[in-house]
Chain A
Amino acid sequence: MTDQAQLLPGTLDLLILRAVSLGALHGYGILLRIQQISGGALLIEQGALYPGLFRLVRQGLLKANWGTSENNRRAKFYELTAAGRKRLREETDTWNRLATAIASALGTQPEEV
């Protein structure tokens, strides 16, 4: 587990939006999807997912419906709303700008200054 990174504050919402943007998922599915798309590099406490999910639903970025899972269990499936899709785009841009800026700052060599 040592090679897994702790999430930065605020990034869980972004990851959830991204995971759901690839298709409707239930909570456990979202967790698996995040692990899958991050290559298993991110550590998410399983229970911590749900407060985030409910928050996004309340903000109108996700909508949820009960359905039946691949395991034939009742589960709640989440998908993006239009507002969620828009938010994901914005957040992705912001994140990319930030990441590039920080990466370039950290990658600067002494002679480049």
Chain B
Amino acid sequence: MSIFSAIRSLASAFLQRGQVHREMEEELRSHIQHRADDLQRRGISRKEAERRARLEFGGFEKFREEAREALGGHFVETLFQDLRFSVRSLRRTPGLTIFVIVTLALGIGMVSGTFSMVDALIFRPYPVPHPSGIVTLVSTTHDSSFDDFSYREYLDLRDKTQSYAGVIANSEMKAVGFSADAASTPRVTGGMMVSGNYLHVLAVEPQLGRSFRLEEDQVPGRDAVVVLGPEFWRREFGSDPSVVGRHVRLNGVQFTVIGVAPEKFPGMQMFDRPDFYIPLAMAPVFSTDIQKNFFEDRDDRELRVSARLKPGATLQQAQNELAVLAKNLESEYPKANRGRGAAVHTQFEMRTRVDDANWKFTVIFVVLSLAVLLVACTNVAGLLLSRGRARAREIAIRLSIGAGRGRLIRLLMTESLILATLGGLGGIAIGYAFVEWFHTFDQIVLMTDLPLALPFRMDTRVLLASLALAMLSALLCGLAPALQSTRVDLVNGIKSAEVDVPGRKRMWGRNVLVVAQVSTSLMLLTAAFLMVRGFQRDLQVGTNFQKDHLLMTTFDPRLVQYNPAQTQAFYKLLTERLREAPGVQGDALMQNIPLGTDHFDGLAFVPDGLQLPRDRENFTSTMDTVDQGYFNTMAIPILGGRGFLQSDSAEAPRVAVVNEQFAKHYWPGQNAVGEHIRLDSRDGAVVEIVGVAETIKNENAADFPADFIYLPLAQHPIARLTLMVRSGGDPVQLVQTVKDAVRTLDPNLPMIDTRAYEEYYRNQAVESPKIAMKMVGAMGLVGLLMAVAGLYGLIAYNVSRRTHEIGIRMALGAGRSEVLRLVMGKGLVLVGIGTALGLAMGFAVERLMNSMLFDAGGVDALAYVVVVPTLFVVTMLAAYIPARRASRIAPTEALRYE
């Protein structure tokens, strides 16, 4: 039979199923009529003849079924039959069905949520045509396998290699002041300096205007042209097509817009979305260090180099070629390139490099979520098994009246397929919700002006992977029960439901699983609870400074090429102007703000008159550089001595203020004011401690009190500073005041991360930790649900297996409560063991968390008082439902088939 006719017969059989079957039945009846005609001719009455004809024909149903099968189109048809039947039988046990679906949905949801991260972090190809040809070139040393290249080295790579269709270079620019025209205040943006061939080699065609010309990247500082990023164009110019040819200002320098990158090219980086691209030749305009010569210095390595492989060139060829080139460079420039090699990496290699935190994070999450899915599948298999047991008699009857085992397995598999599909859809919904939920944190996690985006999303690839996984889990959790429940002893199967004696081992495995789930979920719930409670305590304790009515904004005058003298003059003038401005009640400059994202610098010092331990040369403490307005504006009480004064100038004797913790640490029971420390070592500069300030929380809201030193700005100049302005009313109303003050000084200087400090604080110190708590809590709840499913499945399975035994017990006079106790006993033991283990783990986690995060306040009894009974009640409820069913077994029912 040709494939064509097979398909045609299948198709026609499928399309005209109804008609074909009617015809078939008519044919079979016609046969019986003909036979009856013959018999009647032999003198038998018509009625008797028809009866005999039917008998001679044999099992009408059986042959009809076989004939249907022979007709073709059978697979599709039985599939529909199975589907209909499965839906009906699933609807008969709605509770169990929903429970199975929810369990699977959680398992799959965890995985698809994780997949969306894995996809974004590892697998998603570059958003360019033929992304697989793009490789990354890295410089290697003993210490680093992923170094960047210098400009000179890039030129060598570009001109002395044969394996590539093009070699490109780029360098990220963070915090560039952008203004659409000379009149408006600059905003902070992030861009990318790229080689002239960058867009061309990546095969990215601008959606508007043109790309760079090669000659635009040749003469340093000549061609001030810029290509805008698609998002930036939308956001900043409202997608105005007339933007091409317009002038914009970057750090006060005029650039001509020549094009807009296409929508589908948000940039090559994972998180950063460049607002604009400019040629490498414009680097001098953005240099923050006048000492360096970007175009000449071979050891000024700031360029990330990528390349597109020539068609036919292999990675190995490129690798060999590069190794030779690196050797040549090393002998040619022994000073700059000593011990320096080079390597080529694919996108996948770059993303899965060992030192990458994303990769580790991804692996951990994938393993965790797959484990959850596996547990979910095991539990569902357990539930289905208990269901299969309950249906053992139905299955035995089906087998004995001629249903094939394969056909029955198919039926049961159809059931689990339906469950898995629904679970899969639910899982995708959960995964989607998870990703959406995660995106609600964008503003919290990425509290910055820079163009950043979390690239997690549910795309087709993730959806397909999730569905495939759902099917796989259908196989995983459906096959074992299907195989087992169709492998029954027919005679006993029909007589009773006592058909098999499960091996002790298997039960043992399931017991362990239930115990593990109970204990893990207890631990996670305890951890979440502890985190919430500890955190609340922390917030109550407070930070010891006033967070409200503060406006913060950051300046970096190096961005507009100020030298140190100009920088300090700018800050001095700025604070003077602000002090005269209406509504400003105080102002302060500081290197780092309390509870910010940046880490404080460390300061090495030696306290005068203190014996150093022999094995160390100095002590270290975290520090901040602040001006004389700091303690007043931040409302940090000075406990002894004084704060900084105008007179603590660069020429005056060096002074410092320490916090109370510091003072108590080095001069316990004494007055630290008037003591001296030396910077760096015993022979370092002498600094007098002039004041002791109250200890505030600096690094983290969950901090222990830590040593802290404040140095005066005038004696310790810093270029990048944050300004805090205290207002009488809403701090945001002062934004314009500050803007005006800055504009009169320099209209090109951008203000970075301008916002109310309290809002910033809430995000950083309150909302971010809450994300972690929510995640741990959610995991604990998922764990609890898994434990409930596992326990329920196990007890239900036991009940169905022991129905007969329970019937006998009840017939012999056992009461309901005794049966209940009998069945629940097992669950009680498992939950008991799980709880004990979970408590032990919970204590361990609490100790760990106390040592890391919170005040070591000993055991938080409330956490256990709440969590343990809750867990106990919920799990016992899971055991109670099947147990109650067991206790309702009517002895007559259970023994009927004896």
Q: Which DSSP category, helix, strand, loop or mixed, fits chain B's interface?
A: helix
B58 touches A58 (CB 8 A): no
Residue among A26, A53, A54, A73 with most chain B CB within 10 A: A54
Within the assembled complex, what's the spacing in Å between the Cα atoms of A49 and B35?
Answer: 14
Determine whether the beta carbon of A71 is less than 8 Å from that of B34. Answer: yes
Partner of A46, one of B9, B31, B66: B31
**In the assembled complex, A55 has its CB within 8 A of some CB on chain B:** yes
CB < 8 Å: which of B2, B35, B70 contacts A51?
A: B70
Contacts of A73 in B (CB 8 A): 30, 33-34, 37
Interface code B41-76, partner A: CB below 8 Å = 1, 0 otherwise? 000000000000000111110110011011110000
Q: Any chain A CB within 8 A of the CB of B236?
A: no
Interface pair B27/A75, CB less than 8 Å apart: yes
Contact B9 A51 (CB under 8 A): no
B34 touches A51 (CB 8 A): no
Chain B, Cβ-Cβ closest to A29 = B34
Find chain A residues with CB under 8 A from B28 CB: 47, 50
Tell me the bound Cα distance from A24 to B67 in angstroms.
Answer: 21
Beyond A46-B58, A50-B28, A76-B27, whether A58 also contacts B34 by CB under 8 A is no
Task: Decide: A58 and B57 in contact? CB cutoff 8 A.
Answer: no
Q: Among the listed B30, B35, B58, B69, which residue makes an inter-chain contact with A74, where contact means beta carbons less than 8 Å apart?
A: B30
Nearest-neighbor residue (CB-CB) of A71 within chain B: B37
> A6 an interface residue at 8 Å Cβ cutoff?
no
Given A28-B34, A58-B1, are A52 and B70 neighbors across the interface (CB < 8 Å)?
yes
Asked if A26 and B34 sit within 8 Å, CB to CB, the answer is yes
Known: A47-B58, A51-B66, A51-B70. A28 touches B31 (CB 8 A): yes
Q: Would you call A48 an interface residue if the criterion is a C-beta within 8 Å of the partner chain's C-beta atoms?
A: yes
A66-103: CB near B (< 8 Å → 1, else 0) gives 00010101111000000000000000000000000000
A27 interfacial by beta-carbon distance below 8 Å: yes
**Also in contact, A27 and B57, with CB within 8 A (given A47-B63, A51-B63, A51-B67):** no
A45 within 8 A of B: yes
CA distance A55 to B71 in the complex (A): 6
- From residue A84, how far is it (CB to closest CB) to chain B in Å? 12
Give the CA-CA distance A54 to B23 in the complex, in Å: 12
Q: Which residues of B contact A76 (CB under 8 A)?
A: 23, 27, 30
Known: A28-B34, A58-B72. A50 touches B1 (CB 8 A): no
The smallest beta-carbon distance between B42 and chain A, in angstroms, is 14
In the bound assembly, the distance between CA atoms of A55 and B30 in angstroms comes to 19
Q: How far is the CB of B775 from chain A (nearest CB, A)?
A: 58
Number of interface residues of B (CB under 8 A): 29
Compute how far the CA of A52 lies from the CA of B71 in the bound complex, rounded to whole angstroms. Answer: 10
List the A side residues contacting B35 at CB < 8 Å.
28, 46
A51 to B67 Cα, complex, angstroms: 4
* B67–A54 touching, CB < 8 Å: yes
Number of A-B residue pairs at CB separation under 8 A: 76
How many angstroms from the CA of A39 to the CA of B431 in the assembled complex?
72
Q: Which of B9, B23, B30, B71 has the most CB of A within 10 A?
A: B30
Task: Decide if B5 is an interface residue (CB 8 Å cutoff).
Answer: yes
Chain A residue at minimum C-beta to C-beta distance from B1: A59
Name which residue of chain A comes closest to B59, CB basis: A47
Q: A28-B31, A45-B58 are in contact. Are A50 and B63 (CB under 8 A)?
A: yes
Instruction: Please indicate the chain B residues that have their CB under 8 angstroms from the CB of A58 in the complex.
Output: 1, 6, 9, 70-72
Distance in angstroms from B646 CB to nearest chain A CB is: 102
A36 to B20, CA, bound (A): 30
**C-alpha gap A58/B7 in the complex (Å):** 10
In angstroms, Cα B8 to Cα A58, docked, is 10
User: Known contacts A47-B57, A54-B71: does B31 contact A60 (CB below 8 Å)?
Assistant: no
For residue B65, give the distance in angstroms from its CB to the closest CB of chain A.
Answer: 9
How many residues of chain A get a CB closer than 8 Å to chain B's CBs?
25
Q: Which residues of A contact B2 (CB under 8 A)?
A: 60
**Residues on the B chain within 8 Å of A29, using CB:** 34
- Chain B 68-109, CB within 8 Å of chain A: the 1/0 string? 011110000000000000000000000000000000000000
**Could you tell me the distance in whole angstroms from the C-beta of A67 to the nearest C-beta in chain B?**
11
Q: Give chain A nearest CB distance to B59 CB in angstroms.
A: 7
| Nearest CB of chain B from residue A94's CB, rounded to whole Å | 19
Q: Is A75's CB under 8 angstroms from B30's CB? A: yes
Q: How far is the CA of A60 from the CA of B6 in the complex (A)?
A: 9
Q: Are A46 and B56 in contact (CB under 8 A)?
A: yes
How far apart are B44's CB and chain A's nearest CB, in angstroms? Answer: 16
CB of B349 within 8 Å of the partner chain: no
Residue from the list B1, B31, B58, B70 in contact with A54, Cβ < 8 A: B70
Check if B26 is an interface residue, CB within 8 A of chain A: yes
Contacts of B6 in A (CB 8 A): 58
In the complex, what residue of chain A is closest to B34 when comparing beta carbons? A28
Q: Which residues of A lie under 8 Å from residue B63 when comparing CB positions? A: 47-48, 50-51
With a CB–CB cut-off of 8 A, which chain A residues contact B70? 50-55, 58
CA distance A87 to B480 in the complex (A): 44
Partner of A69, one of B23, B24, B34, B66: B34
Q: How far is the CB of A44 from chain B (nearest CB, A)?
A: 10
The smallest C-beta distance from B202 to any residue of chain A, in angstroms, reads 56
Instruction: Write the chain A residue with the least CB distance to B9.
Output: A58
Residues of chain A lying within 8 A (CB to CB) of residue B5? 60
* Residues of B with C-beta under 8 A to A26: 30-31, 34
Task: Tell me whether B66 and A27 are in contact (CB under 8 A).
Answer: no
Nearest CB of A to B57, in Å = 5
Least CB separation from B66: chain A residue: A51
When distances are taken between beta carbons in the complex, the residues of chain A under 8 Å from B31 are 26-28, 31, 46, 49-50
A28 to B28, CA, bound (A): 9
In angstroms, Cα B74 to Cα A58, docked, is 12
Q: Which residues of chain B come closer than 8 Å to A71, judged between CB atoms?
A: 33-34, 37
Residue of B at shortest CB range from A83? B1
Q: In the complex, what residue of chain B is closest to A69 when comparing beta carbons?
A: B34
Enumerate chain A residues within 8 angstroms of B34, measured Cβ to Cβ: 26, 28-29, 69, 71, 73, 75
CB A61 to nearest CB in B, in angstroms, measures 9
| Nearest A-chain residue to B30, judged by Cβ | A75
- Residues 367-411 of B, flagged 1 when their CB comes within 8 A of A and 0 if not, give 000000000000000000000000000000000000000000000
The residue in chain A whose Cβ has the minimal distance to the Cβ of B71 is A54
> CA–CA, A45 to B2, complex, Å?
30
Q: Nearest CB to that of B73 among chain A residues?
A: A58
Which one of A27, A29, A51, A71 has the highest number of Cβ atoms from chain B below 10 Å of its Cβ? A51
A108–B2 Cα distance when bound, in Å, is 43
Instruction: Report Cα–Cα, A81/B33, bound state, in Å.
Output: 27
> How far is the CB of B651 from the nearest CB of chain A, in Å?
105
Q: Which residues of A contact B71 (CB under 8 A)?
A: 54, 58
Provide the residues of chain A in CB contact with B26, threshold 8 Å. Answer: 74
Inter-subunit contact B37/A46 (CB<8 Å): no
B39 to chain A, nearest CB (A): 12
* CA distance in complex: A55, B224 (Å): 80
Q: How far is the CA of A67 from the CA of B888 in the complex (A)?
A: 62
Contact of B27 among A27, A48, A55 (CB under 8 A): A27
Contact of B60 among A27, A47, A55, A59 (CB under 8 A): A47
Complex-state Cα separation, A54 to B71, whole angstroms: 5
Q: B58 to nearest A CB, angstroms?
A: 4
Chain B residues within an 8 Å CB radius of A51 = 63, 66-67, 69-70
Given the complex of chains A and B, what is the CA–CA distance between A74 and B34 in angstroms? 10
Q: Please, what's the 1-or-0 string for B786-813, where 1 marks a CB less than 8 Å from any CB in chain A? A: 0000000000000000000000000000
Note all chain A residues with C-beta closer than 8 A to B72: 58
Establish whether residues B30 and A27, one from each chain, have CB atoms under 8 Å apart when the complex forms.
yes
Given contacts A47-B57, A47-B63, 12 further A-B contacts (CB under 8 A): A26-B31, A31-B31, A46-B56, A46-B57, A50-B31, A50-B70, A51-B70, A54-B24, A55-B70, A69-B30, A73-B33, A74-B30
Q: 7 tightest A-B contacts by CB?
A: A47-B63, A54-B70, A28-B34, A47-B58, A51-B66, A55-B70, A51-B70
A-B contact pairs, 14 of them (CB 8 A): A26-B30, A27-B27, A29-B34, A31-B31, A46-B35, A46-B57, A50-B63, A50-B67, A54-B70, A58-B71, A69-B30, A71-B34, A75-B27, A76-B27
B interface residues, Cβ below 8 angstroms from A:
1-2, 5-6, 9, 23-24, 26-28, 30-31, 33-35, 37, 56-60, 62-63, 66-67, 69-72
